Structure 1
Amino acid sequence: MDFYTSVFELIDMRSFSNLWFWIALAIMWSTASHWVLGVPFDMVLRARRHGGQTEQDLEDLVRINTNRMLMIARVSGLWLLMLGCFVLTLLGLTGFLYGLEIAQALFLLGLPMSLVGLLSLSTARLIQQEDASGEHLRKRLSRHRLYVQMIGVASIFVTALWGMYQNLNHGALGG
């Protein structure tokens, strides 16, 4: 028995039964929930508590990040949208039509994150249009974080159900 066979027998390389997939899923949603439009959420909380320079720093960082996101969307948004749709369609078809488990796993990671990306773009546009600052900006960022968390909970739930189905189905077929 060679080294690779030993490793593949020791570690199940299927996506939904692999511990690393679930760790990556948890880290991905934890990070998405913590970084709101590129701003760490603890900074929003500190600005609410202390105000002053902390709030000014928050407003500056949000302004920089929203301007950057909207500039990227204006310059190459259509190309990024086409590429994202192509990749998600490719993953969806190869995963669910042809039964490739890694493509299913990547699709279940990518689709909700693309929704978060679109939500972030919409929130950035609203912040810039309203010229939001102070309490209004903090409320907008908190609402955005809540929506990201709701998408994350739904995504984890659907992924867990599909993963359990795949693991039970794979176990029933005898591996």
Structure 2
Amino acid sequence: MIQPYILSGVSFYSVWYWILTVVLWALICQRPLGVPYDMILRADRLPEVADRVDFLAHIQAERLNGLRETVGGPAAALIGFGLAMLAVLGFGFGVEVAQAGFALTFPMAMVAVATLALAARARREGAR
């Protein structure tokens, strides 16, 4: 049986939804390509920090490219299925919890795709 709160329209009005949204975006924005943002800011001023940032970025790019090559296809299929399921349940059947889940996960998936593309470009071009 479907629980009553699923269809009652409380997901987007919940303070916990917005706290989760803020926490997720704060975590995502703090480590672009796996390098802490404060190190990126210090790298402009200090050359030794810039070398460490390059080193960390290349390690992370290699790690992400390795993951993409080994489990990329199945992971993309599973994530795509999950997003499609949330979209159909949320926007096709009007389940607001699924809409809230889609609103949280779809932008995160786009950030993940952009991060993987950046990692592939960093490996290909040896970007600094």
TM > 0.5 fold call = yes
Residue 71 of structure 1, aligned match among 60, 66, 70:
66
Post-superposition offset of 1:13: 8.4
Distance of 1:107 and 1:49 partners within structure 2 = 40
Residue 34 of structure 2, aligned match among 31, 38, 50:
38
Post-superposition offset of 1:14: 2.0
Normalized against structure 1, the TM-score is what? 0.66
Stretches of structure 2 lacking an aligned partner (at least 5 in a row): none
Instruction: Note closer, same or farther for the CA distance 1:126–1:74 as it changes in structure 2 (3 Å cut).
Output: same
What do you get for the CA RMSD once the two structures are aligned? Answer: 1.6
Offset from partner CA, 1:98-138 (integer Å, 9 cap, x none): 111111001011111111000000111111111122xxxxx
Letter in 1 for 2:55: D
Normalized against structure 2, the TM-score is what? 0.89
Q: Contact 2:9–2:96 (CA<8 Å) still a contact in 1?
A: no
SS at match of 1:49: coil
* More divergent stretch after superposition (22-31 vs 67-76): 22-31
Q: 4+ residue runs of structure 1 moved beyond 3 angstroms? A: none
**Count of matched residue pairs:** 122
